[in-house]
Chains A and B, each alone.
Chain A
Amino acid sequence: ATGPEAHDEL
């Protein structure tokens, strides 16, 4: 999931 809800932070 690379949408807004995806966790793109470490």
Chain B
Amino acid sequence: MNIFRLAGDMTHLMSILVLLLKIYATKSCSGISLKTQELYAVVFLARYLDLLTDFFSLYNTVMKVVFIVSSLAIVWCMRYHRAVRRTYDRELDTFRHYFLILGSFVLALIFHEKFTVREIFWAFSIYLEAVAILPQLVLLQRSGNVDNLTGQYVFFLGAYRGFYILNWIYRYFTEAHFGRWIASISGLVQTALYADFFYYYFLSWKNNAKLKLPA
């Protein structure tokens, strides 16, 4: 564990807490893409297949459980909670995310560390996470102004993988055989997808204006 990875995990946890706060405090999920939340649930379920077989540390196991339970709880809330589901922007959240699942799985069948179920699902989860934010970014562009909590949620979600990139650079220089090319390249793509969001988020912060993504 290094400071970059810990900062990344805490930022990731922060994004989830902000989203839970938004949904719980405002009893609304307007501006939130259910499809992105579903993709994240798939990412964590596919990535943490080793939850019950491999034990690295209490931290590692606890965080995996937190990510799986929170992503499933958010999907359940947006689909079935009486008050929340009414605020879901169904007609705006139309990104065909099944293609992202299919594409990521095909890519994982081609590029993986070992041709085993665990490794193919792990690579699949890495590729899927890189593109999982797309439905959410499309929804933000369509839904005019973005409320503060939603903007902060996406900001922390984008920033966490940026910290992981610093972690991979650090591990590359400090560990002999560190070659996590799948995660590193995918992480770069993932963070790059947030570039325009970060730009408009920074502008809104600088001008103290409401966050607005151009359509």
Interface residues of A (CB under 8 A from B): 1-2, 4-10
Contact = CB atoms under 8 A, between A and B. Distances in A.
B54 A9 contact: no
Interface string B56-69: 10001001100100
Given A10-B9, A10-B12, A5 B113 contact: yes
Interface of B: 5, 9, 12, 47, 50, 54, 56, 60, 63-64, 67, 113-114, 122, 164, 167, 177, 180, 183
B67 A6 contact: no
A6 B122 CA distance: 11
Contacts of B164: 9
Contact of A10 (B54, B67, B180): B67
Q: Chain A's interface: helix, strand, loop or mixed, by majority?
A: loop
Given A2-B56, A4-B177, A9 B5 contact: yes
B56 A8 contact: yes
Contacts, number: 24
24 contacts: A1-B54, A2-B54, A2-B56, A4-B177, A5-B113, A5-B114, A6-B54, A6-B56, A7-B47, A7-B50, A7-B122, A8-B56, A8-B60, A9-B5, A9-B164, A9-B167, A9-B180, A9-B183, A10-B9, A10-B12, A10-B60, A10-B63, A10-B64, A10-B67
Nearest to A9: B5
Nearest to B8: A10
Given A10-B63, A10-B67, 6 more contacts: A4-B177, A7-B47, A8-B56, A9-B5, A10-B12, A10-B64
A8 B164 CA distance: 13
Contacts of A10: 9, 12, 60, 63-64, 67
Contacts of B54: 1-2, 6
| A7, A9, A10 pick with most chain B CB within 10 angstroms | A10
